[in-house]
Structure 1
Amino acid sequence: MKLLHVDASPKQASSSSRTLSRFFVDQLRAYSPSLSVDYLDLAAEAPPAMTEIFARATYTSPEERTPQMRAELAVSDALCARLLSADALLFAMPMHNWTMPAAFKAFVDMIVRGGLTYVATDDGRYVGTLGGRKTLFLTTRGVDLRPGTPFAAMDALTPALRAAFGFIGVTDPVFVDAQPMQFAHEVERAAAMRRAKAELSLHAKAWSETEPRAALSRAG
Structure 2
Amino acid sequence: MKLLHVDTSPKSERSNSRALGRYFIEKLALRMPSLTVDHLDLVTDPAPAMTEAFTIASYTPAADRTVEMQHALVASDALCARMLDADALLFAMPMYNWSMPAAFKAFIDAVVRAGITYVATADGRYVGALGTKKILFLTTRGGDLRPGSPLAGMDALTPALRAAFEFMGAVEPCFIDAQPVQFAQPDDRAAALGRARAELNRVADAWSGHFGSATA
Instruction: Name the TM-score, length of structure 2 as normaliser.
Output: 0.97
Report sequence identity in percent: 63
After the TM superposition, which segments of 4 or more aligned residues of structure 1 sit over 3 Å from their partners? Answer: none
For the residues of structure 2 that align with 1:73 and 1:125, how far apart are their CA atoms?
A: 25
Q: How does 1:123-142 map to 2 (within 5 A)?
A: 123-142=123-142
For the residues of structure 2 that align with 1:88 and 1:137, how far apart are their CA atoms?
A: 11
Deviation at residue 171 of structure 1 after TM alignment: 2.1
Deviations 1:175-201 (A, max 9, x none): 000000111111111111000000001
Residue type of the alignment partner of 1:157:
L
Match of 2:179 in 1: 179
For the residues of structure 2 that align with 1:212 and 1:37, how far apart are their CA atoms?
A: 17
Deviation at residue 212 of structure 1 after TM alignment: 8.3
Residue type of the alignment partner of 2:176:
V
Match of 1:209 in 2: 209
For the residues of structure 1 that align with 2:207 and 2:134, how far apart are their CA atoms?
A: 8
For the residues of structure 2 that align with 1:86 and 1:194, how far apart are their CA atoms?
A: 28
Match of 2:189 in 1: 189
* SS, match of residue 100 in structure 2: coil
Match of 1:198 in 2: 198
Cα pair 2:100 2:157 within 8 Å, conserved: yes
For the residues of structure 2 that align with 1:212 and 1:52, how far apart are their CA atoms?
A: 45
Deviations 1:45-93 (A, max 9, x none): 0112100010011110011111111111000000000011100000000
Q: How does 1:1-220 map to 2 (within 5 A)?
A: 1-211=1-211
For the residues of structure 2 that align with 1:158 and 1:70, how far apart are their CA atoms?
A: 33
| Distance of aligned partners of 1:173 and 1:87 in 2 relative to their CA distance in 1, 3 Å threshold | same
Superposed CA RMSD: 1.2
Cα pair 1:140 1:179 within 8 Å, conserved: yes
Deviation at residue 123 of structure 1 after TM alignment: 1.1
Identify unmatched segments of 5+ residues in structure 2: none
* SS, match of residue 89 in structure 1: strand
